[in-house]
Structure 1
Amino acid sequence: MKDYIVRATAADASIRAFAIKSTQMVEDARIAHKTSPVATAALGRLLTGGAMMGSMLKGEKDILTLQIQCAGPIKGLTVTANSKCEVKGFVMNPNVDLPPNKLGKLDVGGALDLGVLSVIKDMGLKEPYVGQCQLQTGEIAEDLTYYFATSEQVPSAVGLGVLVDKDQSVKEAGGFIIQLMPFTSDEVVDKLEEKIQNIASVTEMMEKGMTPEEILEEILGDFGVEITDTIETGFKCDCSKEKIARAISTLSKKDLDSIINDGEEIEVKCQFCNSAYKFSIDDLKEIRKS
């Protein structure tokens, strides 16, 4: 089954909610970047969160970037999503390897350690919107929850999960974002907080075979949840040889001449998907001319 996002409302539209199945997306990213299990979990969580946040974008050409700069051995992560919920991303150190944390799970928090989460929204204005917050746990879901509360003033609950199989492939991945509107009653807030504290983890729910719709029903069933939309999502990079050529053309003429004078073709890899593009000496001379 393809990955998809469902959007929903509950409690007379005083709650808005998103849930996602992202297993194939995270597996595609793992294959592209040859990530270790803990890097797969970290990148997978950020891709999953980014896809749902992409579904919140209003404009067709709007772009969202989630960037984590951190002191931990993973060194940093970047994820980009568009309004079609297509995402791409990479980790600075895809080979990071750590022992399990004290709960016996992949130590994503240890891989990230201290750091900063930046959320950049390019909506076609003169300047993009940039919101930032300190990482709270490095586990990513809690960090996004904190970002929504402090930078966007939207009380939210974010759950993200990536389950890595024994062969290092992605067995399950998914998540949810629940957000409260300004007019949500205190009674609904209290009831929802209690519900969220008592639910199983995202990976446990997905391991049971629960769909995004069933996850939202589990969390919001008592509030009259109503599914409003279903959107396909996936790992998709928009790189091309032409785009890479444009990037090469920004090099100085001196640097281009140096590469051409070496007399050997070059290979350039896209950072987001690891696709390789070869440029012959003739290709490079054409770029130099333009």
Structure 2
Amino acid sequence: MSDYIVRATAADSQIRAFAATTRDLVEYARNAHNTSPVATAALGRLLTAGAMMGSMMKGDEDVLTLQIKAGGPLKGITVTADSHGNVKGYVGNPNVVIPANAKGKLDVACAVGPGFLNVIKDMGMKKPYSSQTMLQTCEIAEDLTYYFATSEQVPSAVGLGVLMNKENTVRQAGGFIIQLMPFAEEKVIAALEQKIQNVTSVTAMLDAGNTPEQILENLLGDLGVEFTDTMETRFHCNCSKKRVSRAIISIGKKELQNMIDDGEEIEVNCHFCNTNYKFSVEELEALKKEATR
């Protein structure tokens, strides 16, 4: 498999860890949305995080949504993932172009801007779990680290990265999430903190040929890392003309009649995958017959 997530434990299960390589799915998103390099980097980071966080959920029908609502020129990011490694997402302004930061790198923080991170988990309960935290650095990985610590009370280290080619395609993408369990010993915590401090970047490790397994070996090898399973991950949108038809039907007979009276076909766009669905006047008339109000 090309893109995948590996799950592991370390230090006699005092640590749980996830690592992923996501180049293909981030490139798919870049191509689908025609994103600029900085938009690709921002969206790719959140897609990678969403894929790993989705894999943490247990139920087959569980759905995770990550929303960044912020004031930067990117105009926010939305990512949705399930427990099977499927993830999709989009940015508010895919064409944003801004100067590089002081280190000469894509300025994701400036593109995102100050705002909030919303995490919504729909696990089949009466109400979805929802939590909002303020963005701390707007770099996404650090903001998720803050979310885990404050909203889930799980000390975590999150690393995310997207490396672009000169022709603006995706060269590398991936990430890791390492979490301490409540019963973690002080010596384990200290050893992990020391390892995390020495991390250069996720993309540097991937570009050097490291697999997700090797990334976790580098970070946790001295703590007895044990790999538990591997899961394929991909950009996947479950939209279809049938699903869009149901949405059109829901707007009601009056609105449908107004569309029909215009005498022209309509086009409906899926924000997540940028697919356009066209409906002729005849199709609209058929949908109107199915409307109940």
Does the TM-score normalized on the shorter chain lie above 0.5?
Answer: yes
Q: CA deviation at 1:57?
A: 0.4
Aligned counterpart, 1:234: 234
Q: Is the 8 A contact 2:69 2:115 kept in 1?
A: yes
For 1:209, the aligned partner's letter is G
Give the C-alpha shift of residue 132 in structure 1.
1.0
Equivalences for residues 82-161 of structure 1 within 5 A = 82-161=82-161
- In the TM superposition, residue 197 of structure 1 has moved relative to its aligned partner by 0.5
Aligned twin of 2:21: 21
The match for 1:172 is 172
Q: State TM-score, norm by structure 1.
A: 0.99
Post-superposition shift, 1:234? 0.5
Structure 1 residues 219-246: Cα deviation after superposition (integer angstroms, max 9, x where no partner): 0000000110000000000000011111
Deviates more, 1:20-29 or 1:248-257: 248-257
Compute the displacement of 1:254 (Å): 2.5
Shift of 1:253: 2.6
Instruction: Give the superposition deviation at 1:258.
Output: 1.2
For 2:248 and 2:164, how far apart are their aligned partners in 1?
A: 37
Which whole-Å CA distance do the structure 2 matches of 1:152 and 1:283 have between them? 47
Partner-residue secondary structure (3-state), 2:95: coil
SS of alignment partner, residue 59 of structure 1: coil
AA matched with 2:99: P
Match of 1:99, SS? Answer: coil
Per-residue CA deviation, residues 144-174 of structure 1 (Å, 9 max, x unaligned), is 0000000000000000000011111000000
1:196 Cα deviation after fit: 0.2
Aligned partners of 2:252 and 2:288 also within 8 Å: no
Q: Secondary structure at the match of 1:117?
A: strand
Supply the distance in 2 between the matched residues of 1:72 and 1:220 (Cα, whole angstroms).
Answer: 36
Distance 2:256 2:13 in 1: 57
Aligned to 1:210: 210
Identity %: 64
Residue 46 of structure 1: SS of its match in structure 2? Answer: helix
Q: Report the Cα offset of residue 93 of structure 1.
A: 0.3
Shift of 1:255: 2.0
2:75 maps to which residue?
75
State the alpha-carbon separation in 1 of the partners of residues 179 and 193 from structure 2. Answer: 11
Give structure 1 stretches of 5+ with no counterpart. Answer: none
Over the aligned positions, Cα root-mean-square deviation in angstroms equals 0.7
Q: Residue deviations 1:163-190, cap 9 Å, x none? A: 0111110000000000000000011101
Which consecutive segments of 4 or more residues in structure 1 shift more than 3 A?
Answer: none
Residue correspondences, number: 290
What secondary structure sits across from 1:26 in the alignment?
Answer: helix
Q: CA deviation at 1:191?
A: 1.1
For 1:250, give the aligned amino acid.
Answer: S
